[in-house]
Amino acid sequence: MIDNQPKKTKAYIAGVNLNDPNFDYYMTELANLTEADNMEVVGQSYQNAESIVAGTYFGVGKINEIRTMAQGLKAKVLVLNDELTPVQIRNLEKLTKMRVIDRTELILEIFASRARTKQAKLQVQLARLQYELPRLHPSENNLDQQRGGGFANRGAGESKLEMNRRTIGKQISAIKKELKAVASQEEIKSARRNQSRIPKVALVGYTNAGKSTTMNGLLKEFSKEGSDKEVFVKNMLFATLDTSVRRIDLKDNFSFILSDTVGFISKLPHNLVESFKATLQETKDADLLINVVDASDPNMVQMIRTTQNVLDEIGVKGIPMITAYNKADKTDRNYPQIEGSDILYSAIDPKSIKLLADLITKRVFSNYEKLNLNLPLSAGKELAYLHENAQVLSENYEEDGVHIEANIAPDDQSRFEKYLVNNR
């Protein structure tokens, strides 16, 4: 059989365990990330230690062991479980004769390969440059220094370093400026959404949990535009890097705005989270979060914790949340099923999607109040506002005005007080 697949680079993965109960889970993630970066994991090892060795990350014995093992397995790349210092990376490359990639660089590479839109590309580029800046080192300009020979030329390498730093610094400012321009466009749209009383619901969660599939499921069931508005779904880490915002129109005039965004993983590089601030804004502005969890994954509990940690890091606090246990079709449990404020479902099952929509409706509109109003026929503007921002249950044009029964947001209730009919 002819194998047309290009051969994947073989990688050896390793880490130092500082007595962390989640260490095995982090190594599993590291293996998945390495595969997601188009490499093949051929082996792994770890070292239990009290602390990281400052200059070389591992102790000498471990480095020798890794070099021997990795060479035997023909690994070309050594992938490490933490963010390393530039000195540690350089020393390990010398000692192992392999390319060394730390966890941060690995995640940045994956994001770079996935970025499609201008905003995502700029955000990843910014995070990469910020990662590189402190990693520029005079020794990387050895050639210049050596070529010059002699003492007199010693400054040449350093000035090149300065030059590189300045160039990267300039690139960073330019990208930040461009990002601001892109973000302000988004802000205008988002401000418009914030002005409206339509509730905002945000899908969040671990990467590959099924957020985008859930969004498409809701769109298929409840959006007039249907499949035109569907988002990209794929069985891979970080399929989504942008935020998509769609309007979902449920029965009985219930509408909400739904957003789907980038997924999370443990130890997301801080720079990356910082760069993706604009993308994650929709999550911060939400009235309700749906935390999508892959219920068929044995590491489900750690994944939930990871999502909580990232939400804390980006400053998402106090927003009500539904935990949505997805992929129930891959478990032996009965679904769909509501369990308190949570749901067990499958995003590819229409019945599940309807139950999820019911749960969202209940949660989002729980503090709305059902009011009976009588609006004069001249109050066209108020009527339009109600249709846009409340759930209009019934509407009858009578001689004395328009009789309306509607569920109205707490903030809007005073606005319609004067039209109240006292028959509640």
Residues of this chain that interact with Mg ion (CB under 5 A) are: 211-212, 239-240
C-alpha to C-alpha distance for 313 and 260, rounded to whole angstroms:
19
Distance, in Å, from the CA atom of 192 to the CA atom of 186, rounded to the nearest integer, reads: 10
Q: How far is the CB of 260 from ligand GTP (least distance, A)?
A: 7
Residue 330 within binding range of ligand GTP, rule CB under 6 A: yes
For residue 346, the minimal CB distance to ligand GTP (Å) is 4
| Residue 111 C-beta: closest distance to ligand GTP, Å | 11
Q: Which of 348, 393, 395, 415 binds ligand GTP (CB under 6 A)?
A: 348
User: Long-range pairs for 415-421 at CB < 8 Å and ≥24 separation?
Assistant: 415/382, 416/371, 416/373, 416/382, 416/386, 419/373, 419/374, 419/375, 419/379, 419/382, 420/371, 420/372, 420/373, 421/372, 421/373, 421/374
- Judged by CB, which is closer to Mg ion: 56, or 323? 323
The residue nearest Mg ion at its CB is: 240
Residue 127 or 409: which CB sits closer to ligand GTP?
127
Q: Does 204 bind ligand GTP (CB under 6 A)?
A: no
Find which of ligand GTP, Mg ion, none residue 209 binds, CB within 5 to 8 Å per kind: ligand GTP
- Residue whose structure tokens are 């945000």: 202
Within 38-67, the residues that bind ligand GTP by CB under 6 A are: none
Stretch touching ligand GTP by CB under 6 A, among 39-47, 132-140, 230-238, 266-274: 230-238
Q: In what order do the strands lie in the sheet with 39-48?
A: 39-48, 9-17, 77-80, 99-102
d(CA 355, CA 250): 12
User: Going by DSSP bridges, is the β-strand pair 244-249/200-205 parallel, antiparallel, or unpaired?
Assistant: unpaired
Q: Which value, in Å, is the radius of gyration of the alpha carbons in the chain? A: 27
**Cβ proximity to ligand GTP, 157 vs 217, nearer residue:** 217
Q: In the complex, what is the shortest distance from the CB of residue 261 to Mg ion, in angstroms, rounded to a whole number?
A: 8
Nearer to ligand GTP, 30 or 303 (CB): 303
* Least distance from ligand GTP to the Cβ atom of residue 84, Å: 26
- Would the annotation count 260 as a binding residue? yes
Residues at the annotated binding site for Mg(2+)?
212, 240
Residues at the annotated binding site for GTP?
205-212, 238-242, 260-263, 326-329
Q: Which residues bind ligand GTP (CB under 6 A)?
A: 207-213, 233-235, 237-240, 263, 292, 326-327, 329-330, 346-348
